[in-house]
Structure 1
């Protein structure tokens, strides 16, 4: 009897120990977002139809075929007339960008967003223990995080990390890195800065697959403030509940779908191939196989499993357009899709069987700000908040895709009703617009006339200038 009692006590002790360990680990995994601030560039950097035309005609290597390609792509891109461009490009120095141009571009974005973030949250730069900067195409020495530390005179034990070459998905990678660091850094504050260096990486050649990046990528970025200090829970906007990272770089087609290189005459640029949407869909599918069981209710997982094996046994194919076969909305309220381009948004929407309402925030962020690389997700989140869509208890699936090829997704829980109009405050009342069509086709549609096949370059350049006036 005594042996049995001792055995029961041992089991009880073991169970209590495991529960305490789980509770302790759960406490260590807390990750709250206290605020985020997206960058809005100056009005003299706005890339309207006229500014686009001026930049295009400066490229001496383009012919009528390339102009037609640019027109067609611009019109179908889903990008509007209010996006922003780096100053060196607006000033006609895209082929001769200096190191100082790159630094100035980064300083404008990073310091603008951090100044606003510190002022909005009331957290002092001296309280920051972790800083992560994600910029794929620019890695200066001293580093970008060192510039931040110097600017704000941060303490000497701050942990600094610089992520380069991670593409549009770097923002979620940075957040996941902070989450891991929080396990060993108790009651800490962390800032994440996500943007991209556009000015020095403007493509000046005529390869169509590399010209796409000029059309899609725009100036922008975001800074975020995170903490694992439970005292700040009541002031938090969001809580990170799950994050999953997937890398399919071993697949040659996916690896090459988004690639920085030089063309045949040495012009550096970023090649985006037709394999990109397919690579994105493949990476997304692999990621969601791991993530969804963690966030969807057990009943939905069981229902899917039963139907999957039943269809497999009866050799019935899945209905076309049915998405992943799961009701994602049983555990997810909002979908924050990376605004990488119309094709990417459409592909994600089709893969997940999302409707127009679900994809509206991503499409509007693309239309208003363009593809701002790793900062793009936060413009999408800002749109949701400005439209007062985010209510306490809601869950947000954040979907990011990037070169490599990788898919990094995470789920946030909304901690209180959010309704700050943030970076959208000057235009949110006009969104969504009645049409997303780009007026470029109205002014320059004559390029598609067959009569232009035999025109001299001087002739259609003069017409481009005249239509611009």
Structure 2
């Protein structure tokens, strides 16, 4: 009789997991197949590197800056986590950042396009004529004809190619592009797709003195990546990764989140990219909403069961003790590597703390920020390249990608490694130097003085 009384309780306990199992089976059937055959990250030429002295010179060139803004920028650079080998656009290198031309933006994009796509087609042996789908994402530059059309013209692609040229999607655009390909693959068999992801820095350098807008100049750098994908299962032996799941979260309905990161003009009519004080709050909210949907798709049943039981016990104990501590999910039970967007040192620290990650887990994102800076939507692929160059990626491993973007958005996906990977890729000539043996901030020696000075007492160095 006592056992019969326990039956309703047992069914109530098992029902959520039975529902979850049915949901996962349905999602697996709908997911389809999406493989990455190869990806190529862009490394600009050495004459475009930005060292400490040049950073100081760029700031001094801006005659609109007062002493407080000057100190603010130097403090941001010193604490940014960026090193001396990031890349700036050619018009900034030549001192023309305040008067960019249309050709500056087009040249920056074409230099990246042709370098990565030439290598991509050569390395895979897949000719441009076999590409069925092309997705190009560059948020802040949309010329006519489109950037995608320029690629099609250059490589003489087929007339029936499915083309998507998306803009305004910010740093999370890579995974949006992957999602577009994933959905098209459901209706096209044995297709090839190319995703081209970058950001245009040349025409978007801010030359004003609004602190909410000059910060972007400290973090964003030149870069990009081209990715070749297929749903042809006969090519799975050649594939590097297989897409397991992808989750997109958009908080655009919230005015606060929507306005936390946007392109606008300052009071003097100078265009730039505004980052508000509400950005961390919007990012945190989007992040946890995204993880809430992602967790059931990627974590083992034992971890979900543990979380459910602990949550129920905490909830039962809250009424008597008043303790409202929220149990956390251990994502490391289902994920081997974490590919985090290099939005800045604070972003990496915050995500790492929320997920309970170690310095080993965060090292790829930190080193990518140091070496290449924030290359917007392409940052994730440089982080992935670091893992590969360090021979971390082994067959069967799961890699979680997490990105944030204006809107406000948080997008994530999980890739399964299809074979042991150890290509040196874009990191080949410098991977031995990362992480640095001595944790030295290259900007601290030159600009460290500004960290302790008060705004009204700062004097601008002339040497």
TM-score clears 0.5: yes
Whole-Å Cα distance in 2 between the matches of residues 35 and 436 of structure 1?
33
Aligned: 1:241 with 2:244: yes
Query: Is the contact between residue 39 and residue 109 of structure 1 (CA under 8 Å) also seen in structure 2?
Result: yes
Whole-Å Cα distance in 1 between the matches of residues 282 and 30 of structure 2?
36
- Could you tell me which residue of structure 1 aligns to residue 19 of structure 2? none
Whole-Å Cα distance in 2 between the matches of residues 124 and 451 of structure 1?
59
Residue 387 of structure 1, aligned match among 390, 400, 418:
390
Residue 406 of structure 2, aligned match among 403, 407, 414:
403
- Could you tell me which residue of structure 1 aligns to residue 231 of structure 2? 228
Distance 1:414 1:318, change over 3 A: farther
Whole-Å Cα distance in 2 between the matches of residues 78 and 437 of structure 1?
10
Whole-Å Cα distance in 1 between the matches of residues 452 and 291 of structure 2?
46
Query: Is the contact between residue 75 and residue 437 of structure 1 (CA under 8 Å) also seen in structure 2?
Result: no
Whole-Å Cα distance in 2 between the matches of residues 354 and 415 of structure 1?
24
Distance 1:450 1:246, change over 3 A: closer
Aligned: 1:48 with 2:51: yes
Whole-Å Cα distance in 2 between the matches of residues 317 and 104 of structure 1?
58
Query: Is the contact between residue 348 and residue 362 of structure 2 (CA under 8 Å) also seen in structure 1?
Result: yes
- Could you tell me which residue of structure 1 aligns to residue 270 of structure 2? 267
CA deviation after TM superposition for structure 1 residue 130, in Å:
0.1
- Could you tell me which residue of structure 1 aligns to residue 179 of structure 2? 176
- Could you tell me which residue of structure 2 aligns to residue 310 of structure 1? 313
Whole-Å Cα distance in 1 between the matches of residues 189 and 180 of structure 2?
15
Aligned: 1:427 with 2:427: no
Query: Is the contact between residue 395 and residue 411 of structure 1 (CA under 8 Å) also seen in structure 2?
Result: yes
Whole-Å Cα distance in 1 between the matches of residues 277 and 122 of structure 2?
43
Whole-Å Cα distance in 1 between the matches of residues 232 and 146 of structure 2?
28
Residue 295 of structure 1, aligned match among 275, 292, 298:
298
Aligned partner of residue 87 in structure 2, secondary structure: coil
Query: Is the contact between residue 71 and residue 455 of structure 2 (CA under 8 Å) also seen in structure 1?
Result: no
Gaps spanning 5+ residues in structure 1: where?
1-18
Alignment of 1:131-142 (within 5 A): 131-142=134-145
- Could you tell me which residue of structure 2 aligns to residue 118 of structure 1? 121
Whole-Å Cα distance in 1 between the matches of residues 59 and 163 of structure 2?
39
Please, what TM-score do these two structures have when normalized by structure 2?
Answer: 0.91
Whole-Å Cα distance in 2 between the matches of residues 155 and 262 of structure 1?
40
1:352-387 deviations in whole A, cap 9, x for unaligned? 111111111111111100000000000000000011
Residue 167 of structure 2, aligned match among 153, 156, 164:
164
Query: Is the contact between residue 199 and residue 376 of structure 2 (CA under 8 Å) also seen in structure 1?
Result: yes
Distance 1:24 1:243, change over 3 A: closer
- Could you tell me which residue of structure 2 aligns to residue 443 of structure 1? 446
CA deviation after TM superposition for structure 1 residue 350, in Å:
1.5
Aligned partner of residue 314 in structure 1, secondary structure: helix
Aligned: 1:331 with 2:334: yes
Query: Is the contact between residue 277 and residue 343 of structure 1 (CA under 8 Å) also seen in structure 2?
Result: no
Distance 1:421 1:448, change over 3 A: closer
- Could you tell me which residue of structure 2 aligns to residue 12 of structure 1? none
CA deviation after TM superposition for structure 1 residue 346, in Å:
1.1
Q: What is the RMSD of the two structures over their aligned residues, measured on CA atoms? A: 2.0
Distance 1:434 1:63, change over 3 A: farther
Whole-Å Cα distance in 1 between the matches of residues 436 and 283 of structure 2?
28
CA deviation after TM superposition for structure 1 residue 449, in Å:
7.3
Please, what TM-score do these two structures have when normalized by structure 1?
Answer: 0.89
CA deviation after TM superposition for structure 1 residue 28, in Å:
7.1
Whole-Å Cα distance in 2 between the matches of residues 258 and 383 of structure 1?
28
- Could you tell me which residue of structure 2 aligns to residue 202 of structure 1? 205
1:42-94 deviations in whole A, cap 9, x for unaligned? 11100111211221111001122112111111110000000000001111111
Query: Is the contact between residue 34 and residue 229 of structure 2 (CA under 8 Å) also seen in structure 1?
Result: yes
CA deviation after TM superposition for structure 1 residue 300, in Å:
1.1
CA deviation after TM superposition for structure 1 residue 442, in Å:
1.7
1:156-202 deviations in whole A, cap 9, x for unaligned? 10000011000000000000110000011111000000000111000
CA deviation after TM superposition for structure 1 residue 307, in Å:
0.7
CA deviation after TM superposition for structure 1 residue 437, in Å:
4.3
- Could you tell me which residue of structure 2 aligns to residue 9 of structure 1? none
Gaps spanning 5+ residues in structure 2: where?
1-21
Task: Provide the aligned length of Structure 1 versus Structure 2.
Answer: 437
Query: Is the contact between residue 78 and residue 448 of structure 2 (CA under 8 Å) also seen in structure 1?
Result: no
Whole-Å Cα distance in 2 between the matches of residues 192 and 326 of structure 1?
32
Whole-Å Cα distance in 1 between the matches of residues 121 and 291 of structure 2?
35
Query: Is the contact between residue 64 and residue 447 of structure 1 (CA under 8 Å) also seen in structure 2?
Result: no
- Could you tell me which residue of structure 1 aligns to residue 91 of structure 2? 88
Aligned: 1:98 with 2:101: yes
Aligned partner of residue 386 in structure 2, secondary structure: helix
Aligned partner of residue 94 in structure 1, secondary structure: coil
1:265-287 deviations in whole A, cap 9, x for unaligned? 01111111232222212111111
CA deviation after TM superposition for structure 1 residue 252, in Å:
2.0
Whole-Å Cα distance in 1 between the matches of residues 167 and 449 of structure 2?
42
